[in-house]
């Protein structure tokens, strides 16, 4: 029996997922959490076989950060991301945090069930569009933005100045300028506005 912990700040989503999993003989939901603190406490107390994690937990926190914390625990369970977001920034941040898989909420039930069983069994579970995007990044690394470059561009999109970005990321302002120069070159643009616009168009940043 695969014991699942659901982490999502929307009760209706959790209810639908519970209903889906409880129809399967080998799956059961042992707990639910809506915030990072609840998720970490539930992992520690319930010892699930798999955590199904939403990326956007309201204002309480980010699922990738929670994933990183869970994966740092002794004998941690696999974490499968289930989200509406398919941007490069979200995908890379989640995989680097230790997620075993990344699935979109619009996926068919059969695909979700297969991903849950695969992740619980220690295998990677990536939605086909996500796997294709990661493969494309590997094929063309010279045009792909690095994790740090995406972090800088996300803050540019939020309206932060170079000085504010430097303070937020604990780097120098000159380093921010260097990252921006690389971003402009890779995207083939010459301004902050154009970089943000193109990054959103290409799915690097959330629209």
Question: Does residue 207 belong to any structural domain of this protein?
Answer: no
Task: Give the span between the Cα atoms of 82 and 80, in whole angstroms.
Answer: 6
CATH number of the domain where residue 97 is located? 3.40.50.2300
Q: Which domain range does residue 192 map to?
A: 141-201
Task: Clarify whether residues 60 and 130 are in a common domain.
Answer: yes
pLDDT digits (tens, 9 = 90+) for 111-160: 999 999 999 999 989 888 888 878 777 776 667 888 899 999 999 999 99
CATH number of the domain where residue 176 is located? 1.10.10.10
Task: Clarify whether residues 30 and 102 are in a common domain.
Answer: yes
Q: Residue 68: its pLDDT value, please?
A: 95
Dmax (CA) for the chain in angstroms is: 57
pLDDT band at residue 71, thresholds of 50, 70 and 90?
very high
Average pLDDT over residues 23-46: 96
Q: Residue 100: its pLDDT value, please?
A: 93
Q: Under DSSP, is residue 104 helix (H, G, I), strand (E, B) or coil?
A: strand
Tokens of 98: 């230790």
Q: Residue 61: its pLDDT value, please?
A: 80
Task: Give the span between the Cα atoms of 204 and 200, in whole angstroms.
Answer: 6
Question: Does residue 206 belong to any structural domain of this protein?
Answer: no
Question: Does residue 81 belong to any structural domain of this protein?
Answer: yes
pLDDT digits (tens, 9 = 90+) for 161-201: 999 999 999 999 999 999 999 999 888 898 999 999 999 98
Task: Clarify whether residues 68 and 92 are in a common domain.
Answer: yes
Task: Clarify whether residues 25 and 55 are in a common domain.
Answer: yes
């Amino acid at each position: 029996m695969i014991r699942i912990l659901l982490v999502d700040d929307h009760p209706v989503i959790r209810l639908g997922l519970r209903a889906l999993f409880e129809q399967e003989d080998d799956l059961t939901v042992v707990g639910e959490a809506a915030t990072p603190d609840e998720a970490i406490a539930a992992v520690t107390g319930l010892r699930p076989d798999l955590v199904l994690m939403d990326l956007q937990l309201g204002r309480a926190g980010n699922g990738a950060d929670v994933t990183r914390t869970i994966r740092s625990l002794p004998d941690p369970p696999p974490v499968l991301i289930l989200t509406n977001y398919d941007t490069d920034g979200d995908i890379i941040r989640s995989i680097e945090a230790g997620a075993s898989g990344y699935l979109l909420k619009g996926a068919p039930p059969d695909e979700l069930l297969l991903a849950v069983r695969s992740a619980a069994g220690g295998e990677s579970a990536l939605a086909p569009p996500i796997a294709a995007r990661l493969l494309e990044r590997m094929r063309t690394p010279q045009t792909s933005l690095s994790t740090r470059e995406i972090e800088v561009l996300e803050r540019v999109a939020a309206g932060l100045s170079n000085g504010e970005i430097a303070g937020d990321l604990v780097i120098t302002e000159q380093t921010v300028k260097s990252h921006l120069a690389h971003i402009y070159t890779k995207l083939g643009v010459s301004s902050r506005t154009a970089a943000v616009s193109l990054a959103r168009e290409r799915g690097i940043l959330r629209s």
